[in-house]
């Protein structure tokens, strides 16, 4: 178990409560009104804005920034949320440096883009803090839609379907709604229980009922859903992690990084055991989140090892720099060869691309080598949105091959809801 020490060097409460609170505080606090106006004034309000093209949810970014600049952040929020109902979380976790901000004309000309992500957060947080939900339901259609999975894709689909007048029932296998946002995002990116608060706010549209603890296969079947609903949306994510396939992977102290992040999000951090020497294997966002949070919990030496070159890492350059600034050492072009130890892990041996071997001491190892879809209906089969079954749509990681982006999942859930609406309304 992750929340109990097993091996020498893995201990509870390496840091005081005060240190933990400081380390896990909001990484990028909300702009105040003056800061937002100053940031908005940097926008060129491009006619053919490349930032819109780069946004998976097609938010009209120049429009919402102009609305902030003119002192109407509530209108800006509605512009954002009309395209991306989870704009608050996306403002916190989107890799804006490679999406909208990466395409910003200011970035191309000056190397300093408009702070689109922080401006989006300013607008959406301002509205949410007032308790305002800017949308109302259409007249009831009498149609019923089932959504399996209360992650970003499922919640986005549920909200849009409810807004169009359908009655929506969401089935979620876990104890809480939110999916990746609740269980898989670094705690410092979603501080102050934001994921849960965003779900509560989203449900203010009405017409959505969520049943937690209900999993596909064990508690409900596709046949039942097809019989009882006019349409079904599957947003079940990726339920399994890839195996490392090396001897020693079952030693005490070796864990999946996704389990570590989930436990950290759901547990008192002072009660979470962390090692002195931590090794993270992988090169994506999960690897970065596990490595950085190990340091924030008090690990003294954290090494992240990726088998490919730096530019091949799925974690962005910004996230890699964030990791190194937090004290994480990143080694590239090195593949794991063996995990050493007897009852518990003592180190991980790697080989460089040229063949040279080296061992990194470790009393805790986190594997972040990707996730896979397991136990899902064969009708998914990598297809997007519409499946090969008449009443069933799908979106998010389970359909798109695991892009692991909240914003992409939201876009697919929204688009599936629009397709469902067109289909069931004839």
Per-residue b or e along 215-250, where b marks 16 or more CB atoms closer than 10 Å to that residue's CB:
bbeeebebeebbeebbbbbbbbbbbebeebebebee
Is 381's pLDDT higher than 60?
no
Is 416's pLDDT higher than 80?
yes
Report yes or no: 331 and 307 within 8 Å, Cβ to Cβ: no
Name the burial class of residue 344, with classes exposed (0-12), middle (13-18) and buried (19+) by CB atoms within 10 angstroms of its CB: middle
pLDDT in tens, 143-153: 999 999 999 99
Report the relative pairing of strands 345-352 and 357-361 from DSSP bridges: antiparallel
**pLDDT at position 240, please?**
74
- Longest pairwise C-alpha distance within the chain: 68
- Adjacent-strand bridge partners of 344: 252
367's CB contacts (< 8 A; 6+ apart) are 241, 244, 249, 254, 255, 256, 257, 281, 282
Report yes or no: 154 and 413 within 8 Å, Cβ to Cβ: yes
Rounded CA separation 334/154 (Å): 38
**pLDDT at position 383, please?**
45
pLDDT in tens, 232-282: 999 998 877 888 889 899 999 999 999 999 999 999 999 999 999 999 999
**pLDDT at position 387, please?**
64
- The mean predicted confidence, pLDDT, of the chain is 92
pLDDT in tens, 417-426: 999 999 999 8
What's the pTM?
A: 0.93
Token digits of residue 42: 């940097």
pLDDT in tens, 165-179: 999 999 999 999 999
Do domains 33-129 and 144-237+373-424 share one topology? The answer is no
**pLDDT at position 263, please?**
95
**pLDDT at position 23, please?**
96
Token digits of residue 268: 């008192």
* Strands of 385-386's sheet in order across: 208-212, 167-172, 144-148, 231-234, 392-394, 385-386
**pLDDT at position 400, please?**
58
* Strands of 334-341's sheet in order across: 334-341, 345-352, 357-361
Rounded CA separation 216/377 (Å): 9
Is 83's pLDDT higher than 70?
yes
Report yes or no: 395 and 409 within 8 Å, Cβ to Cβ: yes
Report the topology of domain 33-129. Fumarate Reductase Iron-sulfur Protein; Chain B, domain 2 (1.10.1060)
CATH numeric code, 144-237+373-424? 3.50.50.60
Is 382's pLDDT higher than 50?
no
Name the residue with tokens 């979106």: 395
Domain limits of the chain? 17-25+241-371, 33-129, 144-237+373-424
CATH numeric code, 17-25+241-371? 3.50.50.60
Secondary structure (DSSP) of 390-404: TTEEE-SHHHHT---
Any long-range contacts for 348-353 (C-beta under 8 Å, 24+ apart)? 348/279, 348/281, 348/305, 350/305
């Amino acid at each position: 178990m992750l929340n109990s020490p097993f091996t020498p060097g893995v201990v509870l409460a390496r840091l005081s409560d005060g240190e933990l609170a400081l380390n896990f505080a909001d990484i990028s606090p909300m702009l105040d009104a003056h800061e937002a106006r100053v940031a908005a004034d940097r926008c060129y309000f491009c006619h053919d804005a490349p930032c819109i093209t780069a946004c998976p949810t097609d938010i009209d970014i120049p429009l919402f920034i102009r609305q902030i600049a003119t002192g109407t952040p509530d209108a800006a929020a509605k512009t954002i949320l009309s395209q991306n109902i989870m704009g608050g979380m996306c403002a916190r976790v989107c890799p804006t440096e490679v999406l909208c901000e990466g395409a910003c004309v200011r970035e191309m000309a000056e190397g300093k883009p408009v702070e689109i992500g922080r401006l989006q957060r300013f607008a959406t947080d301002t509205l949410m803090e007032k308790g305002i939900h800017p949308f109302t339901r259409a007249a009831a259609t009498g149609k019923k839609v089932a959504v399996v999975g209360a992650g970003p894709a499922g919640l986005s689909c549920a909200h849009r379907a409810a807004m169009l007048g359908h009655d929506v029932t969401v089935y979620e296998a876990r104890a809480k709604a939110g999916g990746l946002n609740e269980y898989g995002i670094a705690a410092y990116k979603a501080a102050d229980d934001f994921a849960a608060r965003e779900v509560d706010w989203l449900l203010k549209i009405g017409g959505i009922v969520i049943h937690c603890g209900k999993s596909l296969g064990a508690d409900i079947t596709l046949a039942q859903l097809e019989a009882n609903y006019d349409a079904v949306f599957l947003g079940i994510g990726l339920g399994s992690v890839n195996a490392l396939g090396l001897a020693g992977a079952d030693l005490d102290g070796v864990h999946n990084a996704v389990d570590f992040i989930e436990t950290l999000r759901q547990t008192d951090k002072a009660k979470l055991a962390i090692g002195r020497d931590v090794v993270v294997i992988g090169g994506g966002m999960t690897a970065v989140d596990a490595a950085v949070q190990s340091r924030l919990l008090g690990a003294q030496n954290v090494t992240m090892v990726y088998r490919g070159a730096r530019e091949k890492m799925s974690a962005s350059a910004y996230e890699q720099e964030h990791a190194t600034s937090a004290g994480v050492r990143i080694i590239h072009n090195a593949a794991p060869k063996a995990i050493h130890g007897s009852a518990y892990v003592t180190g991980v041996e790697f080989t460089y691309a040229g063949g040279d071997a080296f061992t990194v001491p470790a009393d805790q190892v986190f594997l972040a080598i990707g996730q896979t879809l397991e136990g899902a209906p064969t009708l998914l089969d990598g297809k997007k949105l519409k499946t090969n079954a008449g009443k069933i749509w799908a979106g998010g990681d389970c359909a798109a091959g695991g892009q692991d982006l909240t914003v992409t999942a939201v876009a697919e859930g929204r688009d599936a809801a629009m397709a469902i609406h067109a289909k069931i309304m004839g």
